[in-house]
Structure 1
Amino acid sequence: MSDSPKISVIMPVRNGEKYIADALKTVFDQAWPVQEILVIDDGSTDRSREIVESLASRFPAIHILDGPRRGPGPARNVGLRIAGGEFIGFLDCDDLWPADKLSLHLARFARTPHMDVVSGFVSYFDRQMTDAPAPDPAAITDELFHVHLGATLYRRTVFDRVGMFDENFLYSEDVDLMLRIREAEIPMTILNAVTLCYRRHAESMTSTYTAEEKRDFNRALMLSLMRRRKNGNAKPLPPFKHLMEE
């Protein structure tokens, strides 16, 4: 890890005019500066692109790219293909980052140079960002098996090892990615701190759990089991609880 590592942030957007300015502001306001913000416009028909272009005129770190209009996974891959950062972060256009998020991640990477993935906890909110203390680790059960994409920071080399998002998924592409990371035994840890503020609202893809979402979620689990069986290791993956810092 260099003394001043470059960070690339990838943000897909489709009709996110209500929230995207606030989301980007939390990237600008990070205690650790972000050198590259890749906003992938995935076919917006509202003012999303206009808002981002206005911000880009003042913040040269912002770059606007055209997405393939096939969902967030393929859109994120557009950013991954050109991202130049040593570390990669993802933020959806309706969520927010706490101001110390990147500093917390990078401090952990500096303390443990072998670590490739550092995640954290998620705070959920409806309208306004409020103070969000980290959950009590004792309340996290062994059944916890997934971490949120936006709460995580990745070394760029992780994607060289496990590949990008599987574009056959409309939903649960982040679950599939994390399962591949776990299967590859890539070193990771979970901070005892909130590193993502997740907005719940009517337009959110995960505000309701549809049959299609259940299908893709189950498919991600099945593909993981099939890969592990093929490699002669069909044992359950270790629970995330054991990756949490003291």
Structure 2
Amino acid sequence: MSDSPTISVIMPVRNGEKYIAEALKTILDQAWPVQEILVVDDGSTDRSREIVESLAPRFPAIHVLDGPRRGPGPARNVGLRIAGGEFIGFLDCDDLWPADKLSLHLARFARTPHMDVVSGFVSYFNRQMTDAPAPDPAATTDELFHVHLGATLYRRTVFDRVGMFDENFLYSEDVDLMLRIREADIPMTILNAVTLCYRRHPESMTSTYTAEEKRDFNRALMQSLMRRRKTGSTRPLPPFKHLMEE
């Protein structure tokens, strides 16, 4: 890792006017500066783009890009194609980053230079503080590890090795990416710390477990199995608990 690692953050948005300013604030308020925030507008019909464009003159790191209007995976790929950072982070427009997120990730990368992916725990919350973009201390929360892009920081070279998001997925494109990372034996660890605050609300794409979401999840698993069989590998992927810090 260089002495001054650069970070690109990619945020897809479609009609996120209620939350996007607060999500961006949690990126801008990180102790470690972010060089570019690529907001990919994937066909918003509300004030999302207007809100972001009003912030851009004050925060030069923010750039607004046009998305293909085909869902989060293709929108993230728009950002990935031009991202210039040594490290790549993702944040959905309705979620929040803890204030120490990037510092925790970068400290781990510095301690273990061979590491390519550092993830962490997710805090699911249902109520935000009224005066700050953070979960209300009285909110109902659950903390656990789950495959979430926003909880993870990746070296840019990871995507050179495994490719970008599979644009055939509407859901579980993050699961598919993680499976390809695991299959490639890319060095990864999971911090014993919360690195994403995930907002539970009715408008979320994953607020209910639909038949389409189940279909895509199962398809990601099946494609992983087929890839491993094609290479002659019959061993199951090691469980995530082996990657967790004590």
Report the TM-score range of the alignment, normalised by the length of the smaller protein.
over 0.9
* Cα distance, 1:127 vs structure 2: 2.3
Distance 2:232 2:172 in 1: 25
Identity across the alignment (%): 93
Distance 1:141 1:16 in 2: 22
Is the contact between residue 133 and residue 193 of structure 1 (CA under 8 Å) also seen in structure 2? no
Is the contact between residue 40 and residue 67 of structure 1 (CA under 8 Å) also seen in structure 2? yes
Distance 2:194 2:223 in 1: 30
SS in 1 for 2:190: strand
Is the contact between residue 121 and residue 151 of structure 1 (CA under 8 Å) also seen in structure 2? yes
Q: Which moved more, 1:77-86 or 1:231-240?
A: 231-240
Alpha-carbon displacement from aligned partner over 1:3-26 (angstroms, at most 9, x marks no partner): 110000000000000000000000
Distance 1:196 1:164, change over 3 A: same
Distance 1:114 1:240, change over 3 A: same
Q: Which moved more, 1:58-67 or 1:228-237?
A: 228-237
Is the contact between residue 7 and residue 85 of structure 1 (CA under 8 Å) also seen in structure 2? yes
SS in 2 for 1:12: strand
Partner of 2:177: 177
Q: Which moved more, 1:99-108 or 1:234-243?
A: 234-243
Is the contact between residue 28 and residue 34 of structure 2 (CA under 8 Å) also seen in structure 1? yes
Is the contact between residue 162 and residue 184 of structure 1 (CA under 8 Å) also seen in structure 2? yes
Q: Which moved more, 1:120-129 or 1:136-145?
A: 136-145
Distance 1:183 1:137 in 2: 39
Distance 1:33 1:180, change over 3 A: same
Distance 1:36 1:85 in 2: 8
Distance 1:140 1:22, change over 3 A: closer
Distance 2:24 2:128 in 1: 15
Is the contact between residue 123 and residue 141 of structure 2 (CA under 8 Å) also seen in structure 1? no
Over aligned residues, Cα RMSD in angstroms? 4.1
Alpha-carbon displacement from aligned partner over 1:144-182 (angstroms, at most 9, x marks no partner): 995211100000000000000000000000000000000
Distance 1:218 1:154, change over 3 A: same
Distance 1:194 1:24 in 2: 18
Q: Which runs of 4+ in 1 moved over 4 A?
A: 129-146
Q: Which moved more, 1:120-129 or 1:66-75?
A: 120-129
Gaps of 5+ in 2: none
Alpha-carbon displacement from aligned partner over 1:6-51 (angstroms, at most 9, x marks no partner): 0000000000000000000000000111110000000000000000
1:179-218 pair list within 5 angstroms = 179-218=179-218
Distance 1:192 1:35 in 2: 26
